[in-house]
Amino acid sequence: MDWTRILTNVVGEIFAPATAAYALAAIGLNVHFGMTGLINMGQAGFMLMGAYGYAIATMNGWPVWMAVIAALTAAAVFAVILGIPTLSLRGDYLAIVTIAAAEIARLTVRSSSLTAVTGGNSGISGNDFKGSFQNACPLPDGSWSLGPFQYSNCLSNSWWLRIVAWSLVVIAIVLVWRWMRSPWGRVLKGIREDEDAVRSLGKNVYGYKMQALVLGGLFGALGGMIYVLPSAVQADALGRTLTFNVWTILLLGGAATVFGPLLGSILMWTVLMFIKSTLRDLPFDIVSSTQAEAFSWVLVGVTLMLLVIFRPQGILGDRKEVAIDAR
């Protein structure tokens, strides 16, 4: 068993772009669930909007900043369409509708009838949309090593992507920190506790919920873009499992906390990497790499169950303040 390699893999996960992508998506879900109490089971749908929106816009020759705006617009429109029928309904309806909407989005973009636009089932290969982002890279060509971690400066899974991804995470955390401590955040918190009470005080609850849904969706879309930039866009990678992972991350770190999503993401991915690397290194090929992968998802599922039952406030949350609460 090669412990050095395992350790390197694990530490590499801490600042991997995917970890940042998940953290962003979980920050978005935190706005939905932690701050407002909305049970959004379709966060992957928002990520999908971001990923496809960005990739398709880029393939049509749009510059990076316009592609990002296109992606965010797609997610915002998705949120509004989703919110109109559901935000006045009971919480479990919202859960079912969001998961259904995310699924509709996935089935649509992977449909062979849209192959010309979305690449259908095979998706969009990385080289088709990464170019403009890589060209925007201010670093010199080549690659750079930090200890055992060597990545290209600008290409694919690069230092450039890491810098952008983690800058976005920092900005998102600062914004959420600001919002949580503002009168706006107070209204959301009130809605999370009892929306009728807030309504009786003259606040437009529907409007606030819509704002929260769109805002969290935008963070999700940013996460989606970062998620696909190191590799490729594939509809089936943006499905339900992704949503459930984001939920596990949020509940692990602690909903309604500022740093919960970040801590949850780092923790989940390092632990999973440790398990997968260790299983792969086991002698005699007891489990194949596919099985190691499946096993790690089994663990995520079990973790989610245990967390919700025994520690719904997660690591950072305050038991008195956190409730899994449907609105």
> What tokens were used for 284?
């005699």
Q: Where are the beta strands (DSSP E) in 132-219?
A: 143-146, 149-152
Helical pair 91-109 and 240-253, crossing angle rounded to 10 deg:
140
Q: Between residue 147 and residue 166, which ones bind other proteins under the rule CB under 8 A?
A: none
Q: Which of 221, 180, 51, 191 is nearest to 123 (CA)?
A: 51
- Of these, 4, 61, 113, 285, which contacts other proteins (CB under 8 A)? 113
Residue indicated by tokens 């450039």: 160
Tell whether residue 298 is a contact of other proteins (CB under 8 A): yes
**Site residue total, other proteins (CB under 8 A):** 93
The amino acid occupying position 67 is A
Q: Which stretch binds other proteins (CB under 8 A): 8-16, 55-63, 64-72, 102-110?
A: 102-110
- Say which DSSP state 32 is in: I
- Of these, 8, 73, 121, 278, which contacts other proteins (CB under 8 A)? 121
Residue indicated by tokens 């900005």: 171
- Distance CA(21)–CA(128), nearest Å, equals 20
The terminus-to-terminus CA distance of the chain in angstroms comes to: 49
- CB closer to other proteins out of 1 and 308: 308
- Distance CA(230)–CA(224), nearest Å, equals 11
- Of these, 80, 84, 136, 282, which contacts other proteins (CB under 8 A)? 84
Tell whether residue 281 is a contact of other proteins (CB under 8 A): no
Minimal distance in Å, beta carbon 191 to other proteins? 9
Minimal distance in Å, beta carbon 235 to other proteins? 9
Tell whether residue 76 is a contact of other proteins (CB under 8 A): no
- CB closer to other proteins out of 166 and 208: 208
3-state helix, strand, coil in the chain (%, to 5): 70, 5, 25
- CB closer to other proteins out of 164 and 242: 242
Minimal distance in Å, beta carbon 160 to other proteins? 23
Q: Between residue 188 and residue 217, which ones bind other proteins under the rule CB under 8 A?
A: 189-190, 193-194, 196-205, 211, 215
Question: Could you tell me the sign of the dihedral formed by the alpha carbons of 184, 325, 266, 209, in that order?
Answer: negative
Asked if residues 48 and 102 have their Cβ atoms less than 8 Å apart, the reply is yes
Q: How far is CA 35 from the centre of its chain?
A: 16
Tell whether residue 274 is a contact of other proteins (CB under 8 A): no
Tell whether residue 4 is a contact of other proteins (CB under 8 A): no
- Of these, 153, 173, 303, 315, which contacts other proteins (CB under 8 A)? 303
Tell whether residue 112 is a contact of other proteins (CB under 8 A): yes
- Of these, 64, 96, 173, 275, which contacts other proteins (CB under 8 A)? 96
Q: Between residue 234 and residue 263, which ones bind other proteins under the rule CB under 8 A?
A: 234, 236-242, 244, 247-248, 251
